Each structure stands twice: as C-alpha cells, then as structure tokens.
C-alpha cells in the first residue's frame, strides 16, 4: 500500500460514512507545536466494545486502529508513531484507543447486537491497512484516515479532533492556521483545547492576559510568554493579532488577516 494517502471525513450526522475530502498535500509542514504532556506511558489498546463504553463514560473521543497480523505498515505505525512522547501524551489524555483486527472473527458485544471484528471492519468501509478512525464520545463517526500516519501527520490530526475543530473548519484550514502560528513564534508551545483559565495559569501573567472567548466558549487566546499572547478574531480562527502587553498599554505588533 502507499504511505502518504490520507483522507478526512467531516463530522457525520448519522452512523453512515459521509463523503471523503482528500487532503493530500498538507503534510509537508513541520511538526505542529503542541505542549508536552506529563502522560508518557505506553498507549493501552482496548477491544472496540470496551472502548465505546469507556469513551462514553469518560466523555472522550475514540481512536480506532484497524490492523491485521500481516500488515507491515501497521506494525511500523505502532512501533514508531504511537511511541512518540507527544503522540502518547495527547492520546492518553484525550482519547480512548481501540484496536480492531480486520481478519478476526472475535466477537464484539455492542448495544445493538454482536458483531465480529471482521464484520465491524466491513461496516466501517475499511479497505486498506492501517486505517485510523475517530469517533465522538457518543460513538458518532468523525474522521477516517486510511494509510500510514507518521508522527507529524498524527499530531495534526489529533489536534484537529481533540480540539473539536472539525465542527467549525476544514482540516486544511486548521493546518494552515497552525503553520501561521508556528511562523509567528516557532518556539510557542500551544496546548490545543485549553480553557482561558488554563492559559492564564499555565502561560501568562493573569494580570496581563484577559481571556476572550468565542460564542461557543472555545479558546481565542494562546498565551506563550509573560508579556505576549495571540488573540483570534473569531471562533473559526480566520485571523489573529499578536499583541505586546506593557504595564500601561497594549500595542498591536502584527495583524494577519
């Protein structure tokens, strides 16, 4: 199979898989700036049925790794991508992980009846391995990514899903915005999905960082220094301003439309 094939499914309104949107060229970017996590333990893979129950209980997204015993790229992805400290950190923090063997007749016990792993694989429309799927905590399908994902690719996708950006913007727009952020401050450590309170306590002086959130309550400020932070103009991340805060005034340093 080819290594660089990648597709994203926009958020589904039902259990059926919607049309795929091809996003092949956006993985030439450098590794996205994501804050290190203290959770560096190995990823614990669960049976699909157990993962669905756990995700709903803990209100976490589900990451499904569709694999087979003969899939070389699957083994490489487990050995390299899923052992990266940043990948392990965000996966362990924000996801429940399931591994499904596309050749297995092992029985999974689901709320709507039993199904084999092979049958589940067919139900998801998986035709190549590895394939990675993401679900809402409720079990609703969000995204499908057939093919091998290296660390850089996986970090972008994890950030897109865990931050719920799939509800507002296309994956391509999300990656473009991440690239802009990296170019403004390459050493910035941006934690996707942080609340305004977490930003103030983790990245900035509470006296100098005023939280501004969108109407959905999502983060619009990304503090990355004692006196500097980013303000998104709207909840869809279509622009941002870099501001420098002094004791007596706020000065706009740069604006990116």
Model confidence pLDDT, tens digit, residues 26-53: 333 344 444 444 356 899 999 999 999 9
Of 162, 197, 216, at which residue does a domain stop?
162
Q: How far is CA 74 from CA 53, 82, 130, 137, in A?
A: 25, 11, 5, 25
- Dihedral over alpha carbons 35, 37, 38, 40 (to 10 degrees): -140
Query: Residue 41 has what pLDDT?
Result: 84
Among the three residues 108, 130, 162, which one is the final residue of a domain in this structure? 162
Specify whether 14 is located in the same domain as 117.
Answer: yes
The DSSP 8-state label assigned to residue 10 in this structure reads P
Residues 84 and 152 in one domain: yes
Looking at the fold, whether 97 and 130 belong to one and the same domain comes out as yes
**Boundaries of domain holding 198:** 184-256
Query: Looking at the 3D structure of the chain, how many domains does it have?
Result: 2
Q: What is the pLDDT of residues 196-253, one digit of tens each?
A: 444 444 444 433 334 443 333 333 333 333 333 343 333 333 333 333 333 333 333 3
* Beta partners for residue 146, in sequence order: 131
Q: Does residue 100 form part of some domain?
A: yes
**Which residue is associated with the tokens 């501004």?**
212
Q: Are strands 107-110 and 113-116 parallel, antiparallel or unpaired?
A: antiparallel
| 213: helix, strand or coil | coil
Q: How far apart are alpha carbons 92 and 85 in whole angstroms?
A: 10
pLDDT per residue over 61-96, tens digit each? 999 999 999 999 999 999 999 999 999 999 999 999
* pLDDT tens string 136-181: 999 999 989 999 999 988 998 998 888 877 777 778 777 777 766 5
């Amino acid at each position: 199979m080819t290594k660089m094939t990648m597709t994203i499914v926009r958020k589904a309104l039902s259990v059926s898989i919607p049309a795929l949107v091809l996003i092949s060229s956006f993985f030439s970017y450098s590794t996205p700036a994501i804050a290190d996590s203290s959770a560096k333990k190995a990823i614990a893979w669960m049976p699909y049925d157990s993962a669905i129950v756990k995700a709903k209980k803990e209100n976490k997204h589900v990451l499904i790794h569709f694999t087979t015993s003969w899939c070389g790229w699957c083994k490489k992805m487990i050995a390299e991508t899923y052992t990266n400290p940043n990948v392990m950190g965000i996966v362990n923090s924000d996801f429940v992980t399931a591994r499904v063997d596309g050749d297995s007749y092992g029985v999974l016990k689901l709320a709507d009846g039993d199904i084999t792993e092979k049958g589940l694989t067919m139900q998801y429309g998986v035709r190549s391995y590895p394939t990675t799927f993401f679900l809402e905590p409720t079990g609703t399908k969000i995204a499908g990514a057939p093919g091998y994902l290296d660390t850089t690719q996986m970090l972008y996708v994890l950030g897109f899903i865990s931050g719920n950006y799939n509800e507002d913007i296309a994956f391509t727009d999300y990656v473009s915005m991440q690239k802009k952020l990296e170019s403004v401050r390459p050493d910035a450590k941006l934690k996707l999905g942080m609340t305004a309170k977490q930003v103030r306590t983790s990245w900035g002086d509470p006296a100098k960082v005023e939280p501004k959130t969108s109407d959905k309550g999502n983060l619009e400020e990304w503090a990355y220094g004692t006196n500097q932070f980013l303000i998104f103009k709207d909840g869809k991340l279509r622009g941002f301003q870099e501001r420098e805060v002094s004791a007596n005034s706020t000065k706009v340093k740069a604006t990116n439309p």
